[in-house]
A and B are shown apart, each in its own frame.
Chain A
């Protein structure tokens, strides 16, 4: 066990953990931030997607000792009140079914829009293909990303 200070959603948090502990479990079990989901722990489903220094990253593959001073944003910190354009678009298009994968989908989409303001369908495919949705909401995810992009442009 060692001591780490990480910045999560703008707040410095001090945690005790083994250095190889994935950020996913620090978030969920140590910090009580359960919005980031466990789907596989292997980096193949995308449910645990967070932002590390603004880039999408899999929290299950990010060890606590690899973060350093880079800022972490989780779904809870994407906005204070669900007002991020991606979140609003997800509501407008009623994307979710069971919803379990959606925090990861939203974080992945938000990172895409931060670097590509009007992504094409091919760019959406590229960015989102590693996020599994077993309920099959892909058509709505795509529509919501386009909607969020056009809202941001306004």
Chain B
């Protein structure tokens, strides 16, 4: 499976599957038509929607809920077109397998991919209910109106609830999608309003079920001892002391190490501690992330594979009146969701049931079926709530381990990763170095821009081939935010130098964008200052309201980017004076061509410390389904990006990840959180995503603010601000 498939909606754009990817097949199946009538049958015109005679409206959610709010926002779209009473919606999680072609949740693509299809689902059912009422009342369909789970015959006021009509609606032939009218957005009553998330009550009561909370009869709990050196393997082990621990049931060898199986999690953890293991440290025992970082810095100064060239490219650097350069570095990062990886698997002879906090239930289903020789239709994968994911749960290693353990013990197994396991195993956000070079003419306009990224593309779903490592298109797609520099500069050259690394890497919230956008938006600031110009005005001069720019397969709308820059600056009071010691920075980004984010960050510098005081965001993600959820995603993305900018990094010595928990891979805490103000741009554009787009621009906005406050450039993340020695 290509790594690129995970990463964005861009492949969907290419293959024209926008309206149907993962969603479509479930909707436009005329075979899932009316069911034969019986007494009090539910009305279920489609796999995603059923209406009970009781009036309950059940909406199935075909995406994983990891905090991004899909269990609320996707049903809102259906309920809107259905004209349903939102207070009577029940949300059901989809189970992987037919009729769902894909439940994969990634790329900030759930609303984007589902918007039209989900509207059609709701509208189709609405039309069938209206037809059922009109038929029953022997009136014209056009005299009937649907509202709040009720059909009303307007001339007479006669009403029937959806529950009353369910059985009759099930007899109505399912109309074709093209014959189903969608609502005028001006008539929206649910979409566009602030809605609280559906799981809120269960969360605050402590009854919400995450992967860690699944309990099935006969279940055992297992933890796995894995080699602490990346890429190492098991030599020998002795489980004598382990087996003596009360509660330990079994010790079994699995592909990734040794599983200690016990009645309780605590017994399994203690059992693992008591194992006597010797490891073959393998080929990566000397890998050192600091040495690798030095390799990256050297590589960024070499010629790479050119991923974009405009005008004369880098050759024009010599033509300016003044040129500057800067090197930025970005370390390995880890996802660190509060729920560590885990999975419950019950593998039987020719069937299997799995419960997982996963972003990729179809992949689990396929691979478990293949590995254990079970027909896929007999592998049932339940998606639980996820206690955070940020891309890590696209990997399914924990699920395969659970299945392997279950098979070995002949019982359901809850395979649990401890916090240390979650920090050290799986895949990381890659480390990178970025050399930025720019030239300005005598009037202070940029005339040339060059960005070389040195890093290595993801390995988690298969290492890149030799051909891919020389491919402009492939490497371009490993440098989001670099090649798609959105500003109009006459000469641009971006390139990529691959530097091999044995560290497993894979998708992490906004993927390749944060490192490139950090470098790019910091360097735009450096160019502005070199030209003696205000960083906001400098950017706006490179954007035009009615201009789009092509970069690779992306079309970048400069007008929408300018709009969010202006709005953020206006709301922040860009020109207003700040308290002494404070500084203001600005940065902006277009994510995947359809989400536009700008930040103004204010920091204070006092007592040798820098504190983030305020973040003002202007965001344009197209039509906004749930403004409450949109703001939450932006707040969260800001905090996630600030954690990268200020707190943690993953370091590797002698092939071992040094960090193990929030104690040594810190993340932002409440006492460090800035005040956040969010301004959402109203729009009719196709609804885009907000899961990832808020992350990339926050680190450069912060770095630019620190420069404004202190005069010092922060080019290396994480920023560990120290007063320079006198």
Cβ of B222 under 8 Å from chain A: no
Asked if A94 contacts B388 (CB within 8 A), the reply is no
Which stretch of B156-164, B288-296, B344-352, B630-638 is in the interface? B630-638
In contact, A90 and B204 (Cβ under 8 angstroms): yes
Identify the interface centre among B215, B340, B635, B675: most chain A CB within 10 Å of its CB.
Answer: B635
Q: Are B212 and A42 in contact (CB under 8 A)?
A: no
Taking a contact as CB atoms under 8 Å apart, the answer to whether B197 and A94 are in contact is: yes
Q: Contact: A34 with B670, CB < 8 Å?
A: no
Q: Tell whether A152 is near chain B: CB-to-CB under 8 Å.
A: no
Using Cβ atoms and an 8 Å threshold, which residues of chain A touch B201? Answer: 82, 91
Are B200 and A100 interface neighbours, CB within 8 A?
A: no
A97 touches B339 (CB 8 A): no
Task: Count chain A CB atoms within 10 A of each CB in B201, B263, B338, B385 and give the residue with the most.
Answer: B338
A11 interface residue, CB < 8 Å from B? no
The interface on chain B, measured as residues whose beta carbon lies within 8 A of the other chain's beta carbons, has a size of 60
B388 engages A40 (CB within 8 Å)? no
A35 to B661, Cβ gap below 8 A?
no
Which of B385, B387, B668 makes the CB contact (< 8 A) with A136?
B668
Which residues from A are CB-within-8-Å of B265? 25, 28-29, 38
With A and B bound together, what is the CA distance between A131 and B644 in angstroms?
18
B676 proximal to A (CB < 8 A): yes
Binary interface profile of A, 133-154, with partner B (CB < 8 Å = 1, else 0)?
A: 1111111111000000000000
Complex partner residue of B246 from A18, A25, A30, A34, CB under 8 angstroms: A18
Tell whether B69 is near chain A: CB-to-CB under 8 Å. yes
Q: Mark B254-289, 1 if CB is under 8 A from A, else 0.
A: 000000000111100100000000000000000000
Residue of A nearest to B639 (CB): A136
In the bound complex, residues from chain A placing their C-beta under 8 Å from that of B675 are: 139
Query: Does B673 contact A139, Cβ atoms closer than 8 Å?
Result: yes
Inter-subunit contact A100/B221 (CB<8 Å): no
User: In whole angstroms, what is the CA distance A119 to B228 when docked?
Assistant: 45
Residues of B within 8 A of A125 (CB): 670-671
Report the bound CA distance from A61 to B471 in whole Å: 52
Q: For window 288-347 of chain B, which residues contact chain A by CB distance below 8 Å?
A: 336-340
Chain B proximity mask over A10-54: 1 for CB below 8 Å, otherwise 0:
000000001001100100111011111111111011010000000
Partner of A96, one of B200, B390, B640, B663: B200
Interface residues of B in 453-470 (CB under 8 A from A): none
| CB of B68 closer than 8 Å to a CB of A | yes
CB of A113 within 8 Å of the partner chain: no
Given A21-B266, A134-B640, A140-B635, are A90 and B200 also a contact pair (CB < 8 Å)?
A: yes
Smallest beta-carbon distance B532→chain A, Å? 37
A84-118 interface code vs B (CB 8 A; 1 in, 0 out): 00010011001011111111001000000000000
Q: Is A25 touching B264 in the complex (CB atoms < 8 A)?
A: yes
Chain A interface residue count: which class? 35 or more
A132 to B197, CA, bound (A): 21
In the complex the two chains form, is B386's CB within 8 Å of A98's CB?
Answer: yes
Contact in complex: B67, A129 (CB < 8 Å): no
Known: A74-B206, A82-B204, A96-B199. A138 touches B670 (CB 8 A): yes
Q: Return the contact of B68 from the options A33, A78, A97 (Cβ within 8 A).
A: A97
Task: Give the chain B neighbours of A137 by CB distance below 8 A.
Answer: 632, 635-636
Q: Point out the residues of chain A lying under 8 angstroms from B488, CB to CB.
A: none
Given that A34-B212, A137-B632 are known contacts, is A102 also in contact with B204, CB under 8 Å in the complex? yes
For residue A145, which residue of chain B has the nearest CB? B670
A132 pairs with B662, CB closer than 8 A: yes
Question: Chain A contact residues: over half helix, strand or loop, or mixed?
Answer: loop
Q: Nearest Cβ in chain B — how far from A65, in angstroms?
A: 13
B213 CB to nearest chain A CB (Å): 4
B12 to chain A, nearest CB (A): 25
Tell me the minimal C-beta distance from B457 to chain A in angstroms.
26
Q: Given A44-B661, A129-B669, are A99 and B67 also a contact pair (CB < 8 Å)?
A: yes
Closest to B266 in A: A25
Residues of B within 8 A of A29 (CB): 221, 263-266
In this complex, what residue of B is CB-closest to A21? Answer: B266
Q: Which residues of A contact B206 (CB under 8 A)?
A: 33-36, 74-76, 78, 103
Cβ contacts under 8 Å, B637 to chain A:
136
Contacting pair B340 A124 (CB below 8 A): no
User: Which single member of B203, B264, B269, B667 contacts A99 (CB below 8 Å)?
Assistant: B203
CB nearest to A29 among chain B residues = B264
A75 CB, nearest partner CB in chain B, Å: 3
Residue of chain B at shortest CB distance from A42 = B661
B66 contacts partner chain A, Cβ-Cβ < 8 Å:
yes
A143 to chain B, nearest CB (A): 11
Q: Are B388 and A100 in contact (CB under 8 A)?
A: yes
Contacts known (A38-B212, A87-B204, A136-B668); A98 close to B418, Cβ less than 8 A: no
- Contact A1–B246 (Cβ < 8 Å): yes
Query: What is the bound-complex CA distance between A124 and B210, given in angstroms?
Result: 28
Query: Contact at B205–A45, with CB atoms within 8 Å?
Result: no
Q: How far is the CB of B267 from chain A (nearest CB, A)?
A: 8
- Interchain CB contact (< 8 A) of A135 among B205, B207, B212, B636: B636
User: Does A128 sit at the interface, judged by CB under 8 A?
Assistant: yes
Asked if B670 and A129 sit within 8 Å, CB to CB, the answer is yes
Whether A39 contacts B339 in the complex (CB less than 8 A), given A44-B662, A125-B670, A135-B636, comes out as yes
For B416, the closest partner residue in chain A by CB is A38
- Contact across chains for B264 and A131 when beta carbons are under 8 A apart: no
B655-667 to A contact mask, C-beta < 8 Å, 1/0: 0000001110001
Contact, CB under 8 Å: B67 / A98 = yes
Q: Output the nearest chain A residue to B633 by Cβ-Cβ distance.
A: A97
Measured CA separation A29–B389 after assembly (Å)? 24
A101 touches B338 (CB 8 A): yes
Chain B, range 692-726, C-beta contacts under 8 Å to A: none
Q: A82-B205, A98-B387 are in contact. Are A37 and B639 (CB under 8 A)?
A: no
Most B-side CB within 10 Å, residue of A36, A39, A102: A39
> Which residue on chain B has the smallest CB distance to residue A35?
B206
By beta carbon, the residue of chain A nearest B201 is A82
Q: Of the candidates A47, A87, A101, A134, which one forms a contact with B205 in the assembled complex, judged by CB atoms under 8 Å apart?
A: A87
Q: Give 1 or 0 for each of B602-642: 1 = CB within 8 Å of chain A CB.
A: 00000000000000000000000000100010011111100
Q: A139-B673, A140-B635 are known contacts. Are A100 and B661 too (CB-CB below 8 A)? A: no
B196 on interface, CB distance cutoff 8 Å: yes
Is B679 in contact with chain A by the CB < 8 A criterion?
A: no
B206 (CB) vs chain A CBs: closest residue? A35
A151 CA / B387 CA spacing, docked (Å): 29
Give me 17 A-to-B residue pairs in the complex whose CB atoms sit less than 8 angstroms apart, sorted by A's number. Answer: A25-B264, A35-B206, A38-B212, A38-B340, A45-B662, A76-B206, A91-B200, A97-B69, A103-B203, A103-B204, A126-B671, A128-B670, A129-B670, A132-B667, A136-B638, A138-B639, A138-B670
Q: Give B residues with C-beta under 8 Å from A.
A: 65-69, 196-197, 199-201, 203-210, 212-213, 215, 221, 246, 263-266, 269, 336-340, 385-390, 418-419, 628, 632, 635-640, 661-663, 667-671, 673, 675-676
What are the 9 tightest A-B residue pairs by CB atom distance, in nearest-first order? Answer: A35-B206, A136-B639, A100-B387, A98-B67, A97-B67, A75-B206, A99-B203, A125-B671, A34-B213
Chain A interface residues (CB < 8 Å from chain B): 1, 18, 21-22, 25, 28-30, 32-42, 44-45, 47, 74-76, 78, 81-82, 87, 90-91, 94, 96-103, 106, 124-126, 128-142
